[in-house]
Each structure stands twice: as C-alpha cells, then as structure tokens.
Amino acid sequence: MCKRLSDATLCPSCAGTIREAGYGFLFKHRCPVCGNPVLDTSYACPFCSEGKLSYGPYGKTLASLIRRYKFGGERSLTPLLAGLYLPLLASIDSPLLLPIPCSREGYKRRGFDQMIVITSYLARKEGYLYLPLFAKRKGKQYKLLSKEQRFHGQTLQLTNSKRARKQFQQLIAAGYTAVLIDDVSTTGSTFHQAKELLKLHFNCETAIVVLTNA
Ligand SMILES: [Zn+2]
Ligand SMILES: [Zn+2]
C-alpha cells in the first residue's frame, strides 16, 4: 500500500491503517445486546435488527485492498482479507459459512472465485465450516430481475448437489447459523435472493457478513 519494503504482507503502519478503517476502531460504542460496534447506542444495531455485520465503511483503504485482490489477482492477500472477517464471525453462534459465488465474468477474468478462496482459507486455518450452497446461473425470467441482475444476466440458485443440500439441512438442525459471506454488498439484491431461497427451501434465518457496503 505504501510501497515501503516489508517482510510481512503489510508494514506496521499499513496494518494500523486497516485496523483504523474498521468499525471496531471508528465506533466507540458497543451494542448492549450483541457487543458489536455501533455509532450510537440509541440507533438500532445492524446485527440485532437485520443480522448484518460489516468490517468497516466503504473507503480508500478497504476499497483498494478489495480491488487489488479481485482485479489485480493478488492472491497473497487471502490471509489478510480472511482475517478481517474473524472479529465479525466471533459474535455469531456456530457459524456455517455460505460463500456468495462471484459472477461468471469475474471468474473468467481472474481465474478464481475470491469468496470460495477466502471461506476455504477460514475453514482450513480457523476451523470454520463452509458449504458452497449457491451457484450463479444464467437467468431466464428476465422480467423478474432487477436492472443490475439483468446486466449480469445471472441469478442466484441453490446448488444441484443433493449431498450439499442434505448436509446443510443437517447442520442447521444441529444448531449452526447460516451465514452469507461476501466481500462487498452493493444493492443487497443477491443477499435478498439468497435469504429467500434459504427461507423457502429450509425455513432458516440467515446472518450476513461483508467487509463493506458500497
Ligand atoms: Zn506500508
Ligand atoms: Zn446488537
């Protein structure tokens, strides 16, 4: 980020910059119920009201990290980015990570799905459970799709894998919390689709974890 030589992925000064870009640093108050950072305790906490957690506001630091990872293909940033989810996941009971798949264009461009890479890293290094339960397919019902979705011509669907669906059902029954995980939340329509699918097929509630909201 600063172009200075460093043995670590980030020099101490840049590591500090990232810490200071998070709500954990920016917000001095904590929600009395869940303990997550809130601007003011008189506002509804996004986690308690909508089950939504994000690392920090959309700003230069987070945006440039995500850009480098997604568009610059700097896969060495995986541990760093995965680490930003840890304080968020810590406040969820037995989280079961469900990565939101990237667009076909994105996959073609960089050759990897960043959220699959991040969640499998979290599974390997931190012991979290994850399940690739969603797939993006070419949408057919164009009339029902939003402008953004029509642009990509894609819609979110549950995986065809009966094994994955069954596994999901068993884990939810065992008390795991379904957690939709993505890097940037834009319009929220993908999350909406995902939530609806889970409600419809499994009658389960979901939490949402992102780095930032653009
Ligand atoms: Zn630096
Ligand atoms: Zn709360």
Q: Residue 120 and residue 195: Cα distance in Å, rounded?
A: 21
The pLDDT of residue 104: 79
pLDDT tops 60 at residue 147:
no
pLDDT tops 90 at residue 140:
no
pLDDT tops 90 at residue 144:
no
Token code pair at residue 30: 């904590």
Do 37 and 23 form a contact (C-beta atoms < 8 A)?
Answer: yes
Query: Ligand 2 centroid vs 51 CA: distance in angstroms?
Result: 9
pLDDT tops 70 at residue 151:
no
Q: Residue 139 — very low, low, confident or very high, per pLDDT cuts 50/70/90?
A: low
> What ligand has the least distance to the C-alpha of 207?
2
For all residues of the chain together, what is the average pLDDT? 89
> Could you tell me which CATH number the domain at 12-213 has?
3.40.50
pLDDT tops 70 at residue 148:
no
Query: Ligand 1 centroid vs 4 CA: distance in angstroms?
Result: 6
- Give the DSSP H or E segment for 158: strand 154-158
Give the range among 22-26, 40-44, 202-206 with minimum mean pLDDT: 40-44
Q: Who's near 53: CB < 8 A, 6+ residues apart?
A: 36, 46, 47, 88, 91, 92, 207, 208, 209, 210
Beta-strand pair 37-38/29-30: antiparallel
Query: Ligand 1 centroid vs 9 CA: distance in angstroms?
Result: 9
Q: Which percentage of the chain shows pLDDT scores above 90?
A: 65
Q: Residue 210 — very low, low, confident or very high, per pLDDT cuts 50/70/90?
A: very high
Q: Residue 138 — very low, low, confident or very high, per pLDDT cuts 50/70/90?
A: low
> What ligand has the least distance to the C-alpha of 11?
1
What average pLDDT does this structure show over 15-25?
95
> What ligand has the least distance to the C-alpha of 45?
2
Which of 18, 109, 136, 121 minimizes the C-alpha distance to 66? 18
Q: Residue 110 — very low, low, confident or very high, per pLDDT cuts 50/70/90?
A: confident
> What ligand has the least distance to the C-alpha of 48?
2
Query: Ligand 2 centroid vs 99 CA: distance in angstroms?
Result: 23
What average pLDDT does this structure show over 88-102?
94
The pLDDT of residue 156: 86
The pLDDT of residue 186: 76
What average pLDDT does this structure show over 32-45?
92
Residues that place a CB less than 5 A from ion ligand 1:
1-2, 11, 14
pLDDT tops 80 at residue 212:
yes
